[in-house]
Amino acid sequence: MPIVPPAAMAAPLLLATEGFGIDLDILNGNLVNLAILIPVLFWFLKGFLGGILSRRREAILQDLHGAESRLSEATAQLEKAKAELAAARETARTILKDGQARADAIRAEGEQRTIAEMARLQEEAKADTDSEARRISNELLSSTADQAIALALQDLPGALSHQKQTKLLVATIHSLG
């Protein structure tokens, strides 16, 4: 079977339909078809695709502006959070220093109270010892005086005469008052 070029096969079709048709002759028909098709497509797609692309461009720009504003808000919040963190750390350091100073003060106060209490107990013990020593000394003096008076009373009636006893009584009364 012989090979027939495509233009030869299409020629009978063109002759059979006398009106608008597709010319398959590459050199003659395609240039005219392209010259018509490209401006029509350009005009049609310019409005259709241009509108779609314009709306898409606006949507992308809005998304970008939204993302930029969210980024700036997030950056501002991050800076605020960093500042608050720094302030919280400084407050924690201050509280720690104050707590340590208060603990030192409480410890020193407790030591001072302990020392004062020990001194007070020592003073009380010394006062009790001194009081007990005075009491014992007074008892000894009283006991010695009682014994001396008892001995003197035993010896006195025989040692003093009636005149001397009277003189002694008068001198004692004068000395009293």
Number of domain units in the chain:
1
Q: Does 167 fall in a domain?
A: no
Q: Does 104 fall in a domain?
A: yes
pLDDT at 151: 80
Q: Does 160 fall in a domain?
A: no
Q: Which of 42, 43, 41, 22 is nearest to 32 (CA)?
A: 22
Q: Does 164 fall in a domain?
A: no
Q: Does 97 fall in a domain?
A: yes
> Would you say 14 and 29 are in contact if contact means Cβ atoms under 8 Å apart?
no
Alpha carbons 120 and 127: distance in angstroms, whole number: 10
Find the domain containing 101 and state its range.
6-154
Per residue of the chain (177 residues), what is the pLDDT tens digit?
556 555 555 555 545 455 666 656 655 666 667 777 788 877 777 777 778 888 899 999 999 999 999 999 999 999 999 999 999 999 999 999 999 999 999 999 999 999 999 999 999 999 999 898 898 998 888 888 888 878 877 776 667 677 877 888 888 888 886
Provide the residue count of the chain.
177
Q: Does 48 fall in a domain?
A: yes
pLDDT at 83: 95
